[in-house]
Amino acid sequence: MKFKAKILVSKKPAVLNPEEKAIADGLKKSGFMTVSNVTTGKYITVEFKEITLDEAVETCQKMCRRFLINPVTEVFEIESVEMELS
């Protein structure tokens, strides 16, 4: 079977991210005064073939821990793993 995984990588809450602060400050200066926090990150999609759902989830976890994130400063969330219908 074919699967597509969607992974969200973001900074750990304790890690200072100047980009996030700059975006939040810019939004407030633009009149969006109700903004209290901004989080940025990267969105990764991975496609698999000839794999089961359990194997796809396990492989995503391994890829994130070994390659896709910096475990000192980043966390990941597997948003979804869906079967491709082609």
pLDDT digits 0-9 by tens, 34-58: 999 999 999 999 999 999 999 999 9
SS3 at position 60: helix
pTM of the model: 0.83
Residue found under tokens 């793993």: 81
Quick one: which of 58, 57, 70 has its CA closest to 9? 70
Question: H or E stretch including 73?
Answer: none
Kindly state the percentage of the chain with pLDDT values over 90.
Answer: 90
The topology under which CATH files domain 1-12+38-86 is Mth169; Chain: A , (3.30.1280)
